Chain A
Amino acid sequence: MSVQIKANGDMIGRAVPRIDGRLKVTGAACYPSDVVLDDTAHAFLVMSTIARGRISALDLTEAQAVDGVIDILTYENTKGKVHKVRFFALGGYTSTSIVPLDTRKIWHDGQIIAMVVAETFEAAREAAYMIRVDYMERRAVSGLDGRKPQPRAAAGFLSSEPGVGDPETAYQEADVKIDAYYSTPAQHHNAIELYATTCAWSGDQLTVYESSQYVYGLKNGVAKQLGIRPERVRAVSPFVGGAFGSKAAITPRTALVAIAAKRLGRPVKLVATRQQGFTVSSYRAETQHHIKLGADRSGRLTSLSHEGWEISSRADDYKVAGTDTTSLLYACPNVATHVNIVHADRSTPGFMRSPAEVPYMFALESAMDELAVKLRMDPVELRRLNDTQIDPINQKPFSSRSLIACYDRAAAAFGWAKRNPEPGSMQDRDWLIGWGCATACYPTNIGPAEVRVTLAPNGKARVRTAGHDLGTGAYTAIALTAAEFLGIPLEDVNVELGDSSLPPAPVAGGSNATASICNAVAHACEDIRERLARAASHEGALRGVDPAVIRLREGMLVGADKSEPLKSALLRIGFGPVEGHAKYTPEVASVPIKLLGHTLLSKGIPVLTVGTSAGNHVQYAFGAEFVEVRVHKRTREIRVPRLVGAFAAGRIVSPITARSQLLGALIWGVASALHEETEIDERVARYVNKDLADYMIPVSADIRDVEVILVPEEDNKVNALGIKGVGELGNVGTNAAIANAVYHATGRRIRNLPIRMEDLL
Chain B
Amino acid sequence: MDANSPLKASLSASRALKLVLSVNGRDHRLSLDPRVTLLDALREHLGLTGTKKGCDQGQCGACTVHVDGQRVLSCLTLAASVEGKAVTTIEGLALDESTLHPMQQAFMDHDAFQCGYCTPGQIMSAVACVMEGLAETDDDIREYMSGNLCRCAAYPNIVAAIKQARAEMKRSRK
Q: Complex formed: what's the CA distance from A699 to B35 in Å?
A: 30
Nearest chain B residue, comparing its CB with the CB of A30: B49
- In the complex, chain A residues whose CB is within 8 Å of the CB of B52: 31, 192-193, 241
A4 beta carbon closer than 8 Å to chain B: no
Cβ contact within 8 Å between B157 and A660:
yes
Nearest chain A residue, comparing its CB with the CB of B139: A701
Q: Complex formed: what's the CA distance from A26 to B116 in Å?
A: 10
Cβ contact within 8 Å between A64 and B7:
yes
- In the complex, chain B residues whose CB is within 8 Å of the CB of A656: 111
- In the complex, chain A residues whose CB is within 8 Å of the CB of B6: 70-71, 117, 263-264
Cβ contact within 8 Å between B108 and A22:
yes
Nearest chain B residue, comparing its CB with the CB of A707: B156
Cβ contact within 8 Å between A692 and B53:
no
Q: A242-B115, A660-B111 are in contact. Are A700 and B158 (CB under 8 A)?
A: yes
Cβ contact within 8 Å between B57 and A27:
no
A273 beta carbon closer than 8 Å to chain B: yes
Residue-wise interface mask of B (12-28) relative to A, using a CB-CB cutoff of 8 A (1 in contact, 0 not): 10010000000000000
Q: Complex formed: what's the CA distance from A243 to B116 in Å?
A: 12
**Closest beta carbon of chain A to B9's beta carbon, Å:** 5
- In the complex, chain A residues whose CB is within 8 Å of the CB of B118: 192
- Quick one: which of A658-697 are within 8 Å of B by CB? 659-661, 663-665, 667-668, 671, 691-693, 697
Contact for B146 among A22, A271, A691, A700, CB less than 8 A? A700
Cβ contact within 8 Å between B153 and A191:
no
Nearest chain A residue, comparing its CB with the CB of B108: A21
Q: Complex formed: what's the CA distance from A120 to B37 in Å?
A: 12
- Quick one: which of B1-59 are within 8 Å of A by CB? 3-12, 15, 33, 35-36, 40, 43-44, 47-57, 59
Nearest chain A residue, comparing its CB with the CB of B49: A34
A405 beta carbon closer than 8 Å to chain B: no
Cβ contact within 8 Å between A24 and B116:
yes
**Closest beta carbon of chain A to B78's beta carbon, Å:** 11
- In the complex, chain B residues whose CB is within 8 Å of the CB of A24: 113, 116, 119
Cβ contact within 8 Å between A70 and B4:
no
Q: Complex formed: what's the CA distance from A28 to B54 in Å?
A: 17
Cβ contact within 8 Å between A664 and B152:
yes
Cβ contact within 8 Å between A700 and B119:
no
Nearest chain A residue, comparing its CB with the CB of B157: A660
- In the complex, chain A residues whose CB is within 8 Å of the CB of B154: 660, 663-664
- In the complex, chain B residues whose CB is within 8 Å of the CB of A140: none
B142 beta carbon closer than 8 Å to chain A: yes
Q: Complex formed: what's the CA distance from A693 to B117 in Å?
A: 18
Size of B's binding interface in residues, CB under 8 A: 70
Cβ contact within 8 Å between A67 and B153:
no
Cβ contact within 8 Å between A21 and B49:
no
- In the complex, chain B residues whose CB is within 8 Å of the CB of A22: 100, 108
Contact for A241 among B43, B51, B94, B116, CB less than 8 A? B116
- Quick one: which of A245-301 are within 8 Å of B by CB? 263-264, 271, 273-274
Cβ contact within 8 Å between B43 and A668:
no
- In the complex, chain B residues whose CB is within 8 Å of the CB of A665: 153
Q: A664-B114, A703-B153 are in contact. Are A26 and B60 (CB under 8 A)?
A: no
- In the complex, chain A residues whose CB is within 8 Å of the CB of B7: 64, 69-72
Listed by A's residue number, 20 A-B pairs whose Cβ atoms lie within 8 Å are A25-B100, A25-B107, A27-B49, A64-B7, A68-B9, A71-B6, A121-B44, A122-B35, A190-B151, A193-B52, A271-B53, A473-B114, A665-B153, A667-B155, A668-B153, A691-B55, A698-B153, A700-B148, A703-B155, A705-B156
- In the complex, chain B residues whose CB is within 8 Å of the CB of A693: 59
- In the complex, chain B residues whose CB is within 8 Å of the CB of A700: 141-143, 145-146, 148, 150, 155, 158-159
- Quick one: which of A187-201 are within 8 Å of B by CB? 189-194
Q: A17-B108, A25-B104, A77-B4 are in contact. Are A664 and B49 (CB under 8 A)?
A: no
B89 beta carbon closer than 8 Å to chain A: yes
Q: A64-B9, A68-B9 are in contact. Are A194 and B54 (CB under 8 A)?
A: yes
A36 beta carbon closer than 8 Å to chain B: yes
A587 beta carbon closer than 8 Å to chain B: no
**Closest beta carbon of chain B to A82's beta carbon, Å:** 14
Cβ contact within 8 Å between B151 and A691:
no
- In the complex, chain A residues whose CB is within 8 Å of the CB of B60: 192, 692
Cβ contact within 8 Å between A699 and B146:
yes
Contact for A471 among B8, B89, B107, B115, CB less than 8 A? B115
Cβ contact within 8 Å between A120 and B116:
no
Q: By CB atoms of chain B within 10 A, which of A34, A189, A264 has the most?
A: A34
A33 beta carbon closer than 8 Å to chain B: yes
**Closest beta carbon of chain A to B81's beta carbon, Å:** 15
Cβ contact within 8 Å between A17 and B109:
yes
Contact for A67 among B12, B36, B108, B158, CB less than 8 A? B12
B149 beta carbon closer than 8 Å to chain A: yes
Cβ contact within 8 Å between B115 and A240:
yes
Nearest chain B residue, comparing its CB with the CB of A473: B114
Cβ contact within 8 Å between B157 and A33:
no
B91 beta carbon closer than 8 Å to chain A: yes
Q: Complex formed: what's the CA distance from A28 to B52 in Å?
A: 11
The 3 closest A-B pairs by CB, nearest first: A27-B50, A471-B115, A241-B117
Q: Complex formed: what's the CA distance from A70 to B123 in Å?
A: 39
Residue-wise interface mask of B (128-149) relative to A, using a CB-CB cutoff of 8 A (1 in contact, 0 not): 0000000000000111011111
Cβ contact within 8 Å between A471 and B152:
yes
- In the complex, chain B residues whose CB is within 8 Å of the CB of A192: 52, 54, 60, 62, 115, 117-118, 149-151
- Quick one: which of A215-258 are within 8 Å of B by CB? 239-244
Q: Complex formed: what's the CA distance from A242 to B10 in Å?
A: 36
- In the complex, chain B residues whose CB is within 8 Å of the CB of A101: none
Contact for B51 among A21, A27, A64, A123, CB less than 8 A? A27
Nearest chain B residue, comparing its CB with the CB of A695: B59
A472 beta carbon closer than 8 Å to chain B: yes
B73 beta carbon closer than 8 Å to chain A: no
Q: Complex formed: what's the CA distance from A34 to B54 in Å?
A: 12
Nearest chain B residue, comparing its CB with the CB of A63: B7
Q: A240-B115, A697-B151, A703-B142 are in contact. Are A123 and B11 (CB under 8 A)?
A: yes
Cβ contact within 8 Å between A471 and B47:
no
Q: Complex formed: what's the CA distance from A704 to B89 in Å?
A: 29
Q: A17-B109, A471-B116 are in contact. Are A274 and B56 (CB under 8 A)?
A: yes
Cβ contact within 8 Å between A699 and B149:
yes
- In the complex, chain A residues whose CB is within 8 Å of the CB of B116: 20, 23-25, 29, 239, 241, 471
Q: A33-B53, A120-B33, A193-B54 are in contact. Are A25 and B123 (CB under 8 A)?
A: yes
Contact for A121 among B40, B59, B146, B159, CB less than 8 A? B40
